[in-house]
Amino acid sequence: MTVEQGTDHVRVVRDGQLLAESRRPLLLHESGLPVRYYLPPDDVRIELLKPSDTHTHCPFKGDADYWSVAGAPDLVWSYPEPKDQVARIKGYFCFYDTEVVQA
C-alpha cells in the first residue's frame, strides 16, 4: 500500500450538487483495489455532510468514520488516526463516487 501526492483534478458531484473538488488529492494504491482519492478537508464541502453512526476497521489503514448526504448513506469516509504506513491520509476525505476531470 502506498500514498502519493496527486495532481489530478478530482471532483465529487451528487444529484447535481458539488460536494468536493481538488487538484491536490492524495492517491492511495492498495493491492487488488482501484486507486482511491483522498481529498484535503479544505476542498470538501463538509457543511453538506452528515456524520454517520458507521465506523469500520481496516487492518492496514486503521479505523474509519463515515458521513452521508441525502440519498447516499456512508458516501464518504476518513481516517482520523490512520496507521503509520498511511499517516498522510489523516483527516482527508475519500468518496465512493469520484470523478477525475480530464483537462
CA 43, 33, 46 angle in degrees (round to 5)?
20
What is the per-residue pLDDT for 103? 43
Give the global pTM: 0.92
Domains and CATH numbers, the chain: 2-101 (2.170.150.40)
Q: Which three cell numbers stand for residue 79?
A: 481516517
Walk along the chain (103 residues) and give the pLDDT tens digit of each residue.
999 999 999 999 988 899 999 999 999 999 888 899 999 999 999 999 999 999 999 999 999 999 999 889 999 999 999 999 999 999 999 998 776 665 4
